[in-house]
Amino acid sequence: MGIVSLPSSEMEPEKPTRSQVLTLEEVRKELGDCKRCKLHQTRRTIVFGEGNEKATLMFIGEGPGYDEDVQGRPFVGRAGQLLTKIIQSINLQREEVYIANIIKCRPPQNRNPEPDEIQSCNPFLRKQIQVIQPKIICALGTFSAQTLLKTETKITTLRGKFYDLEGIKVIPTYHPAFLLRNPDKKREVWEDMKKIAEWINNA
Ligand code: SF4
C-alpha cells in the first residue's frame, strides 16, 4: 500500500519537544469551560474524547451529536455502537483506542462545523494527538478526512488509502452514521479496517 503525501498544513500536529508534551488531563484542564467559539452557547457538555492515552490507533470523527452532547462522551449513540463493533472487528476494544472529534461541542441541529469553530478547537485536538502519539489515525467520514488532510477530495476517493501526517499514518473511511443509512458500504469499511489491522500487526 503506497503512502500518499499531502502538502503540509495548519491541521498537522506540530512536533513538540519532550518537555512540551502535556498529559491528556492537562490538555483537558487547559480547555476548561471553553468559550473559544460560538458553539459553547448551545452545547450541554464538552465532548473531549476518551480512550487509551497511549493508543496506537486513534479514531477522529466530525463532532458530537445529541447523545454525545447529553453524555459528554464521543460516539455513544447508534453510530457509536456501530463504531464499537467496527473496533471489535479487528480484535480491539474501545478502551484500547482513543476516540475524538474534529470539534468538541455539538453544532445546533447537527450542522457541519464552520471554519472559525474548527480553527478555535483544532489546537486542542492537535495537543491530544501530540500526547497520544498514535501510529495511525482512522478519519471517520468526509468532514474528518477533509479537515485532517486539508483537501476537498471526496471520501469515496480518499478512503482506504494511507496518507502521511507528520509521521502519523491517516486512513479515511466512511463515518458509522453514513453506514447506518447505507449498510451496503459496510464491506468497504471492513476492507479498510483489515488494512489497519494488517498495518498494526506488521508495525
Ligand atoms: S467547539 Fe471547541 S473551541 Fe468551540 S467552544 Fe467547544 S471546545 Fe471550545
Q: What is the pLDDT of residues 53-64, one digit of tens each?
A: 999 999 999 999
Cβ–ligand 1 distance for 79 under 6 Å, the answer no
Q: How far is CA 4 from CA 153, 158, 166, in A?
A: 13, 10, 12
172 three-class SS: strand
Instruction: Output the nine-digit C-alpha cell for 165.
Output: 501526517
For residue 126, the one-letter residue type is R
Mean pLDDT calculated for residue range 76-80: 96
Mean pLDDT calculated for residue range 95-109: 97
Q: What is the pLDDT of residue 15?
A: 56
User: Percent of the chain, pLDDT > 90?
Assistant: 88
C-alpha torsion angle, residues 49, 181, 66, 108 (rounded to 10): 100
Q: How far is CA 178 from CA 31, 61, 62, 165, 184, in A?
A: 30, 12, 12, 25, 10
Report pLDDT digits (tens) over 28-54: 999 999 999 999 999 999 999 999 999
Band (pLDDT 50/70/90 cuts) for residue 108 is very high
Atom of ligand 1 nearest to the CA of 40: 5
Mean pLDDT calculated for residue range 77-97: 97
Query: Ligand 1, atom 4: nearest CA belongs to which residue?
Result: 37
How close is the Cα of 65 to the center of ligand 1, in Å?
A: 14
φ, ψ dihedrals at 177, nearest 5°:
-65, -35
The pTM assigned to this predicted structure is 0.91
